[in-house]
Chain A
């Protein structure tokens, strides 16, 4: 059945290649809101379903791209393991392929790494319709260019992901969340200072005058750290899942309303300047979610993010005319366009989803 699904997918790509058509890769559609234009006929990946291989003692899981994240994470949890990058779902049907293609990582990212850090291998169908495999199912592998990690965050513009191998890690023995009331500047300062100490901090979030800190690890280490960082134990309202999937009230004006949501990825020590927005800070200061209180110039946010070592993404918006992603320098843009031509010479796959030019 899977072989047939891949054949059908290759046929669709080849037909588009010969007929001048375009294809829009889609799993559950939970991330349709993300990125640039949605162009072309829908290429549904949900027939590519199921965990292909999982050996807990090898710390590697391989699953087809259309497999639901929930299914994979449940199976890992049954064996005491997890996906360390805490993939955001943004919807109940979210698939593995979608989260890898979007390059999304959740609250644990600053401590554990991003989705690209855990991708070990991929199978794809590229824009010529050829089925290709890169990387593998082992943790250390430097044979050939690292095309697997290149696929993470490429938004499907270089190929249709059909199968992905990921490194998984043991679940922490203990998790505990502390809450500390302080302002954002104080929270960012504290998080950076803690970052220099060997503390088992697995996530941080500052919103509405409160800093939440999640500790994960061996029981004694978590207890000692809880004392060291201070604050009080949080109740069941600890916000991690709500932040991961943007169901937290902070995101409501953008998720259910017309207000844009900006994602600013910056140096963790970047200051807490007033940009005319409500702000939620994650990743020890390195990730700032901004909901404008009044219309704000995209160029202003982009300039601020660049001045602080990073970039700004228009994560959710009804009007995407300012461009979703930070523009690339000319030499980088040239590399992107040439890479695109290597994997998708006819410009079929997810055209315009990453940058308008391709």
Chain B
């Protein structure tokens, strides 16, 4: 419950309909794309402009009320999960594309603008915004920056951090700051890189300047089938070893292709153990020579069949199965849980074999879609939340996959973020010294730990509870450290 005086102060900042406090109104905000975790916030506030954001943050800072910033709510790690005694600050009204400058190839957008809307608006100038997470029709740019979103084209075109020039935001104290610049760098520390992927813990974003790229004149995709996962994995390495950086390089295993084929009718070979989608883009000359090389490498790597898109419609069809993997899996299973970890590609056979073994042990089917080019794995665990114990076993299965990712030299999250979901995994991935520095970074921006507390970085105390941190003689290291 919020102090009534605080609520009325909040009500004085925004128009009446922009402050929600009844459970009926705040219910839609109780979770994000990760529905395993839910919490009703004390209030949801939807400011119209930056000046209101400043006043809301000043008020929350003075009253020490936690704030969770929220965009489209598509996070898969619970990054926008509300705090029971806190305020959800929705940027849903920040929907303006402020400007597009075709000559300097930049767009200035508000954080609530959808990812795909940026590319749609830039298309008239022959430009596009490169990061394309699967949720791009719904997810918004503010969230993309907060999570450092990736997508299927990031091996060649980079992640959000590589495609953002400037972020304007508000610190929890109400101070307005700009990270980055309209040039290619900025003086001082690279706070633009630090804020990108900071999961709403450091500042509330109010405006983003993104880099736009010229649209490739042509793109074609090769669909390659393999009778063995290991061969498919090796073929990915062979493509890169041949000096080719494809526009997209994706893998799906048989459970994944079998789930999506009835949904999209792309003509995936269902007898294949795995398929690769390898895209070449650029000028027609470049695409032609690259496709020829890709065919050669994949054939030498043991592909049992190859299909090259003949036209744009076929290219989109071949991609549709990959893009629809999540909803397709959602169709064949009451619930599914998407895991997100990255591994060195060389470890792929070992990791996939272990996932398969665990899938049998737990009795939980698992479909794998994989950003193979950059080693980012997305096992989808199929379960039924209504079945007693299924959810708990699913979470345990997921945790084991992530611990395996760490063990082989990878990371617990490639692009979905830590949020609330991977707090436990952070304890396994980082020793106390690194976690303490993360807390130091947090304090440098938000001393009272009011912005999205409890997400992103675990307290050392929580790690101790999880039993994943060594606590010497019952004493926490640095007991004087503030916890959030």
Please report A residues at the B interface, Cβ cutoff 8 Å.
Answer: 55-60, 80, 103, 109-110, 113-114, 116-117, 126, 130, 132-134, 136-147, 149-150, 152-154, 158, 169-171, 173, 192-193, 195-200, 217-221, 223-225, 265-269, 283, 286-287, 305, 308-311, 313, 325-326, 328-329, 331-332, 335-336, 338-339, 341-343, 354-355
Contact = CB atoms under 8 A, between A and B. Distances in A.
Contacts of A173: 243
B417 A57 contact: no
B437 A132 contact: yes
Contact of A146 (B197, B342, B344, B430): B197
Given A58-B345, A116-B190, A147-B441, A140 B243 contact: no
B394 interface: no
B332 interface: no
B187 interface: yes
A220 B243 contact: no
Contacts of A269: 101, 103-104
Given A170-B245, A325-B188, A354-B188, A142 B414 contact: yes
B462 interface: no
Given A141-B342, A200-B286, 17 more contacts: A55-B344, A140-B150, A141-B413, A144-B418, A144-B429, A145-B442, A146-B161, A146-B198, A147-B434, A170-B245, A192-B103, A198-B215, A218-B282, A265-B181, A266-B182, A309-B182, A335-B444
Contacts of B416: 142
A268 B104 contact: yes
B441 A339 contact: yes
B189 A138 contact: no
Given A58-B345, A116-B193, A143-B413, A192 B184 contact: no
30 contacts: A56-B240, A57-B237, A132-B434, A138-B410, A139-B342, A142-B411, A144-B418, A145-B442, A146-B161, A146-B193, A149-B161, A149-B193, A192-B103, A196-B102, A196-B103, A196-B126, A198-B216, A219-B289, A220-B286, A220-B288, A221-B282, A265-B184, A269-B103, A287-B184, A308-B182, A310-B182, A311-B186, A325-B187, A328-B187, A332-B178
A169 B158 CA distance: 12
Nearest to B126: A196
Contacts of A343: 437, 440
B191 A138 contact: no
Interface stretch (B45-53, B90-98, B371-379): B371-379
Contact of B290 (A218, A265, A328, A331): A218
Given A150-B193, A286-B184, A143 B198 contact: no
A54 B99 CA distance: 43
Contact of B426 (A143, A221, A331): A143
Contact of A220 (B148, B154, B289, B433): B289
A138 B411 CA distance: 8
B411 A143 contact: yes
Contacts of B181: 265, 309-311
Interface string B414-439: 11111000100110011001110110
A56 B241 contact: yes
Contacts, number: 265
B404 interface: no
Interface stretch (B12-20, B169-177, B299-307, B319-327): B169-177
B418 A335 contact: no
B196 A171 contact: no
B346 interface: yes
Contact of B441 (A142, A145, A198, A218): A145
Contacts of B171: 331
Interface of B: 101-105, 125-127, 147-148, 150, 154-155, 158-159, 161-162, 171, 175-178, 181-191, 193-194, 196-198, 201-202, 214-217, 237-238, 240-241, 243-245, 282-283, 285-286, 288-290, 342-346, 371, 374-376, 409-418, 422, 425-426, 429-430, 433-435, 437-438, 440-445, 456-457
B190 A153 contact: yes
Contacts of B444: 335, 338-339, 341-342
Contacts of A110: 184
A150 B189 contact: yes
Give the residue among B201, B283, B418, B443 with the most A Cβ atoms within 10 A: B283
Nearest to A194: B214
A36 to B, nearest CB: 12
Given A220-B286, A343-B440, A152 B190 contact: yes
B343 A198 contact: no
B188 A336 contact: yes
Nearest to A118: B162
A336 B189 contact: yes
A193 B103 contact: yes
A286 B183 contact: yes
Contacts of A146: 148, 161, 193-194, 196-198
A140 B376 contact: yes
B245 A335 contact: no
What are the nearest 10 A-B pairs in CB distance? Answer: A309-B182, A342-B440, A310-B183, A220-B285, A338-B444, A149-B193, A140-B414, A170-B243, A57-B237, A265-B183
Given A149-B161, A268-B104, A329-B177, A103 B185 contact: yes
A300 B288 CA distance: 51
A145 B198 contact: yes
A195 B105 CA distance: 8
A60 B240 CA distance: 12
Nearest to A310: B183
Contacts of A267: 104, 182-183
Give the residue among A56, A146, A154, A343 with the most B Cβ atoms within 10 A: A146
B450 to A, nearest CB: 16
A221 B285 contact: yes
A218 B214 contact: no
Contacts of A310: 181-183, 186
